[in-house]
């Protein structure tokens, strides 16, 4: 039984779709100029983050009810969204000047 994000897909797929999925699973990846196969040199450019580098600090801050409501409209993970939004804004000098 195939599942994606905990959802049972077997009810949602037709026999033809299952056949197509099974055929695709037996094929090798097709690399092209947009998605080339990674070379050893390319793989060496990746850097594993150490636990200390991944930890974000927990802070409390006050935001308006309207802002919180709008952020929550983006659904699950809205706090991570707010964190990324703040990261982007703090790197933008014009945005920083506007908000000071």
Tens of pLDDT, residue by residue over 58-77, are: 889 999 999 999 999 988 88
Q: How far apart are CA 56 and CA 59, in angstroms?
A: 9
Q: Cβ of 89: how many Cβ atoms within 10 Å?
A: 13
- CA angle, 59 then 62 then 66, to 5°: 130
SS3 category, 14: coil
In a domain, 2, yes or no: no
Q: Give the pLDDT of residue 53.
A: 62
Q: Give the pLDDT of residue 7.
A: 57
Q: Hunting for tokens 């927990």 — which residue is that?
A: 58
Which of 62, 85, 63 has its CA nearest to residue 74? 85
Largest CA distance in the chain: 60
Indicate the number of domains in the chain: 1
Tens of pLDDT, residue by residue over 77-94, are: 899 889 999 999 999 999
Q: Where in the sequence is the domain holding 69, given as residue range(s)?
A: 7-47+56-99
In a domain, 1, yes or no: no
pTM of the model: 0.45
Tens of pLDDT, residue by residue over 1-57, are: 555 555 565 567 888 988 998 898 899 888 888 888 989 998 888 877 776 666 778
């Amino acid at each position: 039984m195939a599942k994606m994000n905990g959802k049972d897909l077997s009810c949602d797929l037709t026999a033809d779709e299952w056949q197509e999925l099974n055929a695709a699973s037996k094929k090798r990846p097709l690399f092209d100029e947009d998605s080339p196969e990674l070379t050893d040199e390319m793989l060496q450019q990746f850097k594993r983050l150490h636990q200390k580098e991944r930890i974000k600090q927990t802070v409390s801050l006050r935001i308006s009810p309207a802002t919180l409501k709008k952020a929550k409209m983006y659904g699950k993970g809205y706090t991570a969204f707010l964190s990324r939004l703040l990261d982007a804004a703090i790197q933008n000098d014009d945005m920083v000047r506007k908000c000071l």
